[in-house]
Structure 1
Amino acid sequence: MELVSLDDIQAAAERIAPVTVRTPLVPMGEIWVKPESLQRVGSFKIRGAYNAAVALAGPGGVVTHSSGNHGQALAYAARRLGVPCVVVVPEGTPRVKAEAIRGHGAELVVVPPEHRISGAEKVAAERGMTMVPPYDHPFVIAGQGTIGLEIVAELPDVEVVLVPVSGGGLASGIASAVKALAPAARVIGVEPELAADARESLRAGHVVPWEPSRSFRTIADGLRANLSELTFAHLRARLDDIVTVSEDEILAAMRHLAQTARLIAEPSGATATAAYLAGRAPSGRTVAVLSGGNVDPEVFRSALG
């Protein structure tokens, strides 16, 4: 299986430059936080969604399945490109994310969690729309990898990069970029204990999917997807390790980011910081990727305690 290259990621950086923010590295104690919450759609997803939409979208428009953030990003990209967009989301998607998808002009389709992929595939077939998956595509992975380019450019001697893992597109892209530019740096994936399918998969040597009834227990709604064969291949080749964090540790990290770095993180976005605060990361000059800030107000209030 062919993996995404540094050239692919550098090409993506040029393609997405008109719509993305080059997010800074924000000092927080002894580490730096990469706040992708500052993107126009509130998460890193704009990078991969726009890169793929520009390359793939036809006049019939685009469709995807999403836990929320990718759907927002693709809806934003489709509106800029002037094509229709349909986003299929699972029941239980936070209202703040669903409303944002509609706000960008996309049609929202809500289905049971186990039907999100098949539901999107059905829409694509019936309406002649182009599928832009949230992680399972080289263009999406390359777009997410632009975060790695920026980390190494700003901190060339980075030693540890902590990255949330869900379907694996973000970790695949960042690991691909960082390993190409700073081979000695360690890229560590972070998952909730209640959605640790990627860690189980890497230890088993093959993709081990978790049923929604199992992974939907975590508060980190953006980290409930399973790896694909494509992302598994990237992580097996380029990720150094994967660690897990508890629900309480995720909430504590959200609180710490707000109080210490003045950064708002959704639960999924706080997992990398949670791994550092819980002492599960290697020592060294560390960057924690804050992947998104589209948090339900009630959840944020509960995190602040």
Structure 2
Amino acid sequence: MTAAARALSLVCPETPLLPVEIAGETVFAKAESLQRTGSFKARGAWWRLSSIPEERRPAGVVAFSSGNHAQGVAWAAARLQMPATIVMPADAPAAKIAGTRAFGAEIVFYDRATQSREALAAALAQARGAVLVPSFDDPWIIEGQGTCGLEIAGQYARAVGAAPARIAICCGGGGLSAGIALAVADAEIIVVEPEGWDDMGESLASGTIVAVGPCPPATACDALQTQRVSPLTFDVLRTRGARGVAVSEAEIAAAMRFAFERLKLVVEPGGAVALASVLAGRVPAAGTVVTLSGGNVDRARFAAALG
């Protein structure tokens, strides 16, 4: 992971770890919403794409994502002068579609309800001889996201003189959670998901992978709508003794307002769930770091959350 950190230090800024008082305690928020492309996904994308051998780069890459991984891969591919094709849901936020296109990537849309993004992306990659870049089920991606944890450990130690007791992490497929779990070995790891989409939490509680149930509820967290987590991320988190917490849509909106009012940050719904878990009292505030994992949100949705 230190090699990934060295590579990323040349292209990605260290994002701030911001103190904020909650319930009389100081909580630290890792502002990955300020990362390149507006989310932590740039980390894993750069490490994965920059690790592709030179001879394979002309064929490009194919990825699937609702938007944050899409933008990370598109940005990394543009810097490395590689073609990029991104499979995105037709209902992806307009801001994320526009951001992905701005980096020059080709977008192939699919229907969340009737099509498999994994199958579509795999078929495209095979047909083009391109490298398939999953959003979380990949060792390079996990390692790249783990550099966020290395930064947290160093920043927290400099600010407090100790290690964080726990880290609450926004979780979809678990790439960021698994990476941080590997990078910060002594902290309690808590994965946070929206209610009804808390398949990682349910999987950790049961000891085996559990898919999202039929007809899951609507959620503003487009970035966290993972139907089934991967054995790779699940095994890392299970081995580390991680546990899951779920938060409601109202609690997520409240966290977005809190981040805007108290930290002066624009945070998307999926990037606010970890903060929501502390504000709602489901995770203790003392000694806790929360990830603000992304800030790519449409204006209308953000305005609605602010009320």
What is the TM-score of this pair, normalised by structure 2?
0.92
1:169-228 CA-to-partner distances (Å, cap 9, x unmatched) read 00000011111xxx2x2121101112111111112222112268426x211110111310
Distance 1:127 1:211 in 2: 34
Unpaired segments ≥5 residues, structure 2: none
Is 1:84–2:83 an aligned residue pair?
yes
Count how many residue pairs are aligned between Structure 1 and Structure 2: 292
Residue of structure 1 equivalent to 2:2: 10
Q: Secondary structure at the match of 2:36?
A: coil
CA drift of 1:242 comes to 1.1
Unpaired segments ≥5 residues, structure 1: 1-8
Give the 3 Å change call, closer, same or farther, for CA 212–46 of structure 1 in structure 2: farther
Distance 1:91 1:50 in 2: 25
Q: Secondary structure at the match of 1:41?
A: helix
The residue type paired with residue 206 of structure 1 is T
Distance 1:67 1:267 in 2: 13
Q: Secondary structure at the match of 1:27?
A: strand
CA drift of 1:282 comes to 2.9
Distance 2:93 2:215 in 1: 17
Residue of structure 2 equivalent to 1:109: 108
What is the TM-score of this pair, normalised by structure 1?
0.93
Is 1:218–2:219 an aligned residue pair?
yes
Residue of structure 1 equivalent to 2:16: 24
Distance 1:172 1:232 in 2: 8
Residue of structure 2 equivalent to 1:3: none
CA drift of 1:56 comes to 2.4
Q: Secondary structure at the match of 2:142?
A: helix
Distance 1:73 1:25 in 2: 21
Distance 1:192 1:56 in 2: 34
Is this contact kept in 2: 1:255–1:303, CA < 8 A? yes
Is this contact kept in 1: 2:168–2:192, CA < 8 A? yes
Residue of structure 2 equivalent to 1:235: 237
Residue of structure 2 equivalent to 1:51: 47
Distance 1:52 1:239 in 2: 27
Residue of structure 2 equivalent to 1:293: 295
CA drift of 1:301 comes to 0.3
Q: Secondary structure at the match of 1:155?
A: helix
CA drift of 1:239 comes to 4.4
1:12-60 CA-to-partner distances (Å, cap 9, x unmatched) read 1012222211011111112111110111200000000110011126220
Residue of structure 2 equivalent to 1:169: 175
Distance 2:154 2:43 in 1: 17
Residue of structure 1 equivalent to 2:126: 125
1:224-273 CA-to-partner distances (Å, cap 9, x unmatched) read 11310111111101243211100000000000100011011000000010
Residue of structure 2 equivalent to 1:142: 143
Give the 3 Å change call, closer, same or farther, for CA 212–147 of structure 1 in structure 2: farther
Q: Secondary structure at the match of 1:194?
A: coil
1:134-165 CA-to-partner distances (Å, cap 9, x unmatched) read 10000000000001101110112211211011
Counting aligned pairs with the same residue, the percent is: 45
Is this contact kept in 2: 1:188–1:239, CA < 8 A? no
